[in-house]
Amino acid sequence: MDGVKKTGVKKSGAKKATKKASAKKSSAKKTTKKTSAKKASAKKTSAKKSSAKKSSAKKPAAKKATKKASAKKSTKKPATKKATKKASAKKASAKKASAKKASAKKASAKKASAKKSSAKKSSAKKPAAKKSAKKASAKKSSAKKTSAKKTSAKKSSAAKKTAKKSTKKPASTAGLIARIEARSSAAGVKLPRGASAAAVARAERILGVAFPAPVRAWFLAHDGGPAREYPVEGRELLSLARIISEWRVWKELLDDGVFGANESHEVGRGVQPRWWIREWIPLTYDGAGNHHVLDLAPAKRGVVGQVLSFWHDDGDRRVVGKDLLSWLAGVAWGED
């Protein structure tokens, strides 16, 4: 019994010992778990610290990289701004060009519509214009016919007049001398006989001129007018001798330089602007130094043999007759 008790006591002690051993094992396991957990947490913390160190070490490099990138961006900003400005300018010019094209299209469209409307109006007006043009052409044709008739009538009348004139012969030298004789006779003026051909030639030689044929014929028919009378416009009609006498007076004054520059600015058309020249031959005399002269050296548009009025104290020199005979035939005869 005692042995049984002892074995039971031993068994219970063994159980207790096994329980304690299992308890120890479980506590050892717990401690190992705790230690492994601590180790794991220690590893985690060390890993965190190392990662934190690495991250802290990387931060300055990252900051430097970001600074470099920002510096690059800042350096690139002006170029990008220029590019953006260019792009915006291009866009604006493109917009303006498109706006111009659109306005040009609108203007062309307006012009085209205006042309169409004007074409329609002109096409509408064409019938009326044609009618008015026909009427105007009819009026013009009638007016042309009437004007043509008038012009033909005028031409025919002018042709008749010219034919009549052509049938009338110009007055001959003999006819003009006969007319002068008739007018002087009607005024009670008796003309003297003519000079000889030798006297006419001598006068031409002294005066240094050649008389036109009608003038020579006049002096051969009548050597001036009656002496000491004033039958032509209240003046003496000079003979060849009296012509030479008066001409010499004027030549002496010219040679003595009395006329200075020998200029006159009061002359008429076809007359030289002179006070007196050798080719101005006295024809009449009023007793006070004034004459009618025969102009044998006219200016442009003048005629050789024209008759001038000449004043001794006045520079007025005007043509009063185209030639001696026609002038004497039309002048007023008789003393005042």
- 210 vs 44, residue with greater confidence: 210
Beta bridge pairs of residue 237: 284
Amino acid 293 reads V
Rounded CA-CA distance 123/289 in Å is 85
Q: Is 312 exposed, middle or buried (0-12, 13-18, 19+ CB in 10 A)?
A: middle
pLDDT digits (tens, 9 = 90+) for 61-73: 445 544 554 444 4
Contact predicate 306/250, CB 8 Å: no
pLDDT digits (tens, 9 = 90+) for 294-308: 999 999 999 999 999
DSSP 8-class letter at 263: -
Give the DSSP per-residue string, 91-132: HHHHHHHHHHHHHHHHHHHHHHHHHHHHHHHHHHHHHHHHHH
User: Residue 70 CA to chain centroid, in angstroms?
Assistant: 69
| Of 285, 183, 282, the residue nearest 229 (C-alpha) | 285
| Of 212, 248, 236, the residue nearest 287 (C-alpha) | 236
Rounded CA-CA distance 83/332 in Å is 109
Rounded CA-CA distance 94/77 in Å is 25
Phi, psi at residue 319, to the nearest 5°? -80, 125
Beta bridge pairs of residue 284: 237
- Check whether 160 has a pLDDT greater than 70: no
Rounded CA-CA distance 159/155 in Å is 6
- Check whether 237 has a pLDDT greater than 80: yes
Rounded CA-CA distance 276/273 in Å is 9
- Mean pLDDT is lowest, of 5-14, 264-273, 287-296, for 5-14
Angle between helices 240-255 and 197-207 (to 10 degrees): 10
Contact predicate 177/218, CB 8 Å: yes
Helices of type H across the chain = 2-167, 173-186, 197-207, 213-221, 240-255, 324-330
What is the predicted pLDDT for the residue at 27?
54
| Of 222, 250, 248, 244, the residue nearest 333 (C-alpha) | 222
DSSP 8-class letter at 301: T
- Check whether 104 has a pLDDT greater than 80: no
Contact predicate 300/270, CB 8 Å: yes
- Check whether 99 has a pLDDT greater than 70: no
- Check whether 265 has a pLDDT greater than 80: yes
Helices of type H across 208-317 = 213-221, 240-255
What is the predicted pLDDT for the residue at 171?
82
What is the predicted pLDDT for the residue at 254?
96
Rounded CA-CA distance 108/335 in Å is 93
Helix (H, G, I), strand (E, B) or coil at 329: helix
Q: Considering the entire predicted model, what is its pTM?
A: 0.52
Q: Exposure pattern of 204-217 as b/e (b: 16+ CB <10 Å)?
A: beebebebbebbbb
